[in-house]
Amino acid sequence: MRQLVIAERICLIGHIVSMVFGLVGILLVVPNAEVIFHLSEIGQTAMQWSMAGGGVVYMILGTAAVFLYGLRILGLSRTLGFMLPAVLISLTSELLGTSTGFPFGHYSYLSGLGYKIAGLVPFTIPLSWFYVGCVSYLLARAGLEVDKKPSLWRHIGAIGLGALMLTSWDFVLDPAMSQTALPFWYWQQPGAFFGMPYQNFAGWLGTGSVFMAVAALLWKNNPINLERSQLNVPLVVYISNFGFATVMSLSAGFSIPVLLGLLLGVAPAVVFWLKASAAPTQVTVEPAAQEVSVASVKVALK
C-alpha cells in the first residue's frame, strides 16, 4: 500500500508540474520565441520538452494519479467500473462530434495532444474525461451522501451535479485552448459563448451524465463511504485543472467563463468536500458502564 501511495503522489505532483510547464510554454515561449535563446541549456531543453509533449504528459499523469487513487480507495473493480464507461462513451461522443458535429458542434483537433484515434481524436482526450469526470462525480456523490442515505433522487443529483462540475471545467478551458497563440482545437462554426456554441455545453452535460449513470449502476451493490480526508486527492485534481484553465482564460481576456466556472464548478466541489464526514470518532466505553455490564452478566448467570 505504501508503494501505491508513493506512486500516486509522484503522478499527482508530476501532473501539476507538467501543467505549470505547459502554461509557461503556451503563454510565454510561444508569443515570445526569442525568450528561449536567453535560457540555459537545461532551460531550453525543458521548454522544448514542454512544447513537444507537455500536453500529453500532463493528461497521462493525471490519469495515472486518479487511477492509482481509485485502486487505493475504491478497489480495482469500481475503478474500472468508472474508467471504462468514461473512456469508451466520451471517445464515442468525440468521434461523433469531430465527424458529424453531434453532440458538441463542428470542431477539429490540431496537433499537440498525441496520437489521434481514427485520425480525429487524440488518445489523451478520453483520458481527461475519465480523470476530471471521476473526481467530479466522487465529490458530488460524497457531498450528497448517496451511500449513507441512498435514494433515487440523491443518485440523480450526484450524476447531474457531477456532470455540471465536469462541464464547468470546460466553460473555462475551451475558449482559451481553442484561441491561444498555439491552439489545440478549433471550431469550424464558432458560437456565441466566447467562440463556443451553446450546443457544446449540452454535449458535455449529456456525455458526462451518461457515463456517470453507467458507473452508478455498476456500483449499486458496492457502496462507497468516503470521508473528507479520502476526498483530498479529488479536490486537488479538480482545483489544479481548473486553475490551469483559469490562467489560460484570464490571459486571453476571458473573465466571464472563469466566474461562471467558479460558481458552478469550484464552489460546489469545495462545499461537497466540506460536507463529507470527517474521520469517524472511536466510541470509548466508560469504566462505569463496563462495571454495569459485568454486573448484569453475573446476575443473569445466577
pLDDT at residue 293 tops 60? no
Q: What is the pLDDT of residues 20-37, one digit of tens each?
A: 988 877 776 555 555 665
Q: Is 14 exposed, middle or buried (0-12, 13-18, 19+ CB in 10 A)?
A: middle
pLDDT at 134: 98
Residues 6+ apart with CB under 8 A from 120: 94, 95, 98, 99, 108, 109
C-alpha cell at 23: 502554461
Confidence of residue 182 (pLDDT cuts 50, 70, 90): confident
d(CA 204, CA 285): 52
pLDDT at 205: 98
Q: Where are the beta strands (DSSP E) in the chain?
A: 107-109, 116-117, 121-122, 185-187
Contact by Cβ (8 Å): 141, 147: yes
Q: What is the pLDDT of residues 200-226, one digit of tens each?
A: 999 999 999 999 999 999 998 888 889
d(CA 172, CA 152): 31
Q: Mean pLDDT over residues 94-121, rounded?
A: 94
d(CA 250, CA 227): 34
Confidence of residue 52 (pLDDT cuts 50, 70, 90): low
State the SS3 of 225-246.
CCCHHHHHHHHHHHHHHHHHHH
pLDDT at 142: 95
pLDDT at residue 285 tops 50? no
Q: What is the pLDDT of residues 263-274, one digit of tens each?
A: 999 999 999 999
